Structure 1
């Protein structure tokens, strides 16, 4: 029996001995070699993973708000501030206390407390947050000489690598789970508002793990845990982490003073190339993003790409969906000149495309109507790519758009993102002209507006 055990251990160490020749065998010389545990790695990494307690105040809406009959009678019913508490995790990324977490953990929080695994507690403020990427960068107040994790380039991560997920699931305290990288280039599969590109892992991730660390066997951060795919509410072995390459861009922009994440503007709409499209385009295998429409100011258009071309890769990395393409552009960063590989009329080409912010062309000419106006507090702007991006409107939208309806315009039914077409039958072409058109139409005003693909008429008396 003893010979069998020794022989098994000797066979196991064939792959573990760093300098052993193919024919050499040896018996394990230490308890660490026999146990093969993650203890040293956990001791190294856990001090840099923190628990986050956030509090935010939200306004509750009365069910009778806006009702012409019951609105005034029950205006005290509901509409009172309510405090929400959230629990999550975060990762320290620098010795001066820069922390990354999820936006859904700390976004719009009025009070944030960060607790280290030693019990030390710090107040924190949000330097930069982005709901779409579900990332937020925090700064610990009064912090110095902090433990932190180094960022590994997530583009070097491969399926099958061993990983550890560290966080505070269910508020039970810091917990470590292990698994492997089970998928890459996962786009459109995470829950919530997050969109883009994710690392998939089977390391168990549960509520409270959000914002925690996904590390490799060297203790480097490869991703920030963000969500799970589940029917029961618990971990089913399909978890998603935001890659460290995007986290690095967030840290860079936060240190530069940005309070919101600035993405490069593509100025196009596209669709994935499926099997049918691939066959018609002569690609052989599905892949790439087919350009369906492109703006005249798009940097891709200026580099020679057009409708019908297929974007295959950005900086040597293949792209197969629009979110993945935007992710690659975001990782490249504003000001970078990206190498784009694309297909044009069956021919593979390359182009250099500058990563730019959405342009302010034409100027937005933003105005807010004063207290003497027919609709005081109404904020307006001229449509341009920058405004369309901010309001999540079609890039080809034109005209004058509502950026904030204010109290009075909201009461008559106008919303943020509505495009004003006419006032009393007269075309709205300039934000500065809106107040004059409203005054001319008073006391009976009719506004025609476009909301999405639907035209609507708003009539009111002043």
Structure 2
């Protein structure tokens, strides 16, 4: 009731805000009780990261590095990363952003009462920009409860708690200004799915808490949309439902986040597509491709079908669909609504990890090869997922270019053919580059299209 009175008071007319308080109750209206309860569970995180010197491409080349050796050259240096985190359990489980602690060699967690602990990363995922830590504490710690993200609505009053600019713990207020935001802030593969808020979020707030008026965690502050480097009132938080899945996997000992694999490609349905597809308005995802091992294909989905919801929640982008699948969790079954020829139907889709079959058969070319250090794997669904390759990719992909970087090879290049011979297995590449041939013509597939690399050794 007290929180409700506070909300009504804060949303009152601007004229009322300029009036002198008429009673002791009006004077005492504030966020203080809520902050007093929630703030102890929000921590400051200090991480040390060993940064390798950049140098030039030739200096990083194993062949040429001897010509550039300099006893006074730059050595690996320590960088300090500053961010925030949230304690989620009395035994010291903490969530933060991957970009804060993911590459750290040393992590210190400081509570609001200045207690300080060392911590280690249990589970991290760069694409989701989440990391789960464990504090080395013997006593019970204050923590925040997670709120069901499906209950969060636009317009709700929220507080952001963190350590912006390293000035110490601060609190800012605002509202939830948007839901289901994707393709913004954090993540490298388009799997981001965020709650948007106008509560000011600044550098150092990363990993901090976005809480509701009941003191429950609704999201982890992760990024801002800005041109100046400061808050412009557009901040993004990772929903608590995804955080809960991370915690569950971390407690089971997972070393890598297990995200369900869809094995499909598609695009949002726009206004031009909606009518011909039997929709009265734009929405959903039209399927343009299906991998032979896709669980959606096994469930009866076909190219041209439209996916409109997962477990009853509407999906309008691929990122939103992957989020819904991730929240449901590996090993479970999702109820997917499919639209075909204007008729809706529900199909049950098994949520599986990307199969690591056929075997990837990794190969690293030796010193006698034309391109020593070149590391290759055969493409399978797991490799597609890990390297964010197009769904239709087949054959062999470059994991590490090694000396191949000298001739233009990059990580993620799919080698299609060498000297006119199609490549289907890493050993095919090893055989050609280990022979007596000195003129090489290599056709590779990149996101930007096919490229021909010609070189002589």
SS of equivalent to 2:153 = coil
In 2, the alpha carbon distance for the partners of 1:429 and 1:319 equals 36
1:177 corresponds to 2:172: yes
Look up the match of 1:38. Answer: 31
Out of 442, 448, 454, the residue aligned to residue 448 of structure 1 is: 442
State whether residues 391 and 417 of structure 1, in contact with CA within 8 Å, keep that contact through their aligned partners in structure 2. yes
Look up the match of 2:359. Answer: 363
In 1, the alpha carbon distance for the partners of 2:139 and 2:373 equals 44
SS of equivalent to 1:312 = strand
SS of equivalent to 1:214 = strand
| TM-score of the two chains, using structure 1 as the length reference | 0.87
In 1, the alpha carbon distance for the partners of 2:430 and 2:50 equals 35
Instruction: Give 5+ residue unaligned stretches, structure 1.
Output: 1-11, 17-27
- Give CA-to-partner distance per residue, 1:205-262, whole Å, 9 cap, x none: 1111110001111111110001112222222222111000000111111112222222
Quote the offset at 1:66 in angstroms.
Answer: 6.6
Look up the match of 1:243. Answer: 239
1:150 corresponds to 2:145: yes
1:274 corresponds to 2:274: no
SS of equivalent to 2:178 = strand
How does 1:24-35 map onto structure 2 within 5 Å?
31=24, 35=28
1:294 corresponds to 2:290: yes
State whether residues 335 and 354 of structure 1, in contact with CA within 8 Å, keep that contact through their aligned partners in structure 2. yes
Look up the match of 1:414. Answer: 409
Look up the match of 1:187. Answer: 182
- Give CA-to-partner distance per residue, 1:28-75, whole Å, 9 cap, x none: 9x9557623222211111111000111211222223627999976545
Look up the match of 2:380. Answer: 384
- Give CA-to-partner distance per residue, 1:143-201, whole Å, 9 cap, x none: 44111111111111111211111000111111111111111111123356474211111
Look up the match of 1:347. Answer: 343
How does 1:25-104 map onto structure 2 within 5 Å?
31=24, 35-63=28-56, 65=58, 74-76=68-70, 80-104=75-99
In 2, the alpha carbon distance for the partners of 1:237 and 1:400 equals 45
| TM-score of the two chains, using structure 2 as the length reference | 0.88
In 1, the alpha carbon distance for the partners of 2:324 and 2:234 equals 23
Q: 290-299 vs 356-365, which deviates more?
A: 356-365
Look up the match of 1:204. Answer: 200
Quote the offset at 1:381 in angstroms.
Answer: 1.4
Pick closer, same or farther for the CA change 1:36–1:276 going to 2, 3 Å: same
In 2, the alpha carbon distance for the partners of 1:345 and 1:196 equals 31
The number of residues matched between the two structures is 436
Quote the offset at 1:447 in angstroms.
Answer: 4.8
Look up the match of 1:258. Answer: 254
Look up the match of 2:323. Answer: 327
Instruction: Give 5+ residue unaligned stretches, structure 2.
Output: 10-20
Quote the offset at 1:458 in angstroms.
Answer: 4.1
SS of equivalent to 2:286 = strand
State whether residues 420 and 447 of structure 1, in contact with CA within 8 Å, keep that contact through their aligned partners in structure 2. no
SS of equivalent to 1:108 = coil
Pick closer, same or farther for the CA change 1:63–1:303 going to 2, 3 Å: same
Pick closer, same or farther for the CA change 1:232–1:455 going to 2, 3 Å: closer
In 2, the alpha carbon distance for the partners of 1:56 and 1:141 equals 20
In 1, the alpha carbon distance for the partners of 2:178 and 2:75 equals 45
How does 1:109-124 map onto structure 2 within 5 Å?
109-124=104-119
Look up the match of 2:299. Answer: 303
In 1, the alpha carbon distance for the partners of 2:353 and 2:311 equals 18
In 2, the alpha carbon distance for the partners of 1:78 and 1:348 equals 65
In 2, the alpha carbon distance for the partners of 1:82 and 1:385 equals 37
In 2, the alpha carbon distance for the partners of 1:382 and 1:325 equals 28
SS of equivalent to 1:104 = helix
Higher gyration radius (CA):
1
In 2, the alpha carbon distance for the partners of 1:79 and 1:322 equals 43
State whether residues 278 and 341 of structure 2, in contact with CA within 8 Å, keep that contact through their aligned partners in structure 1. no
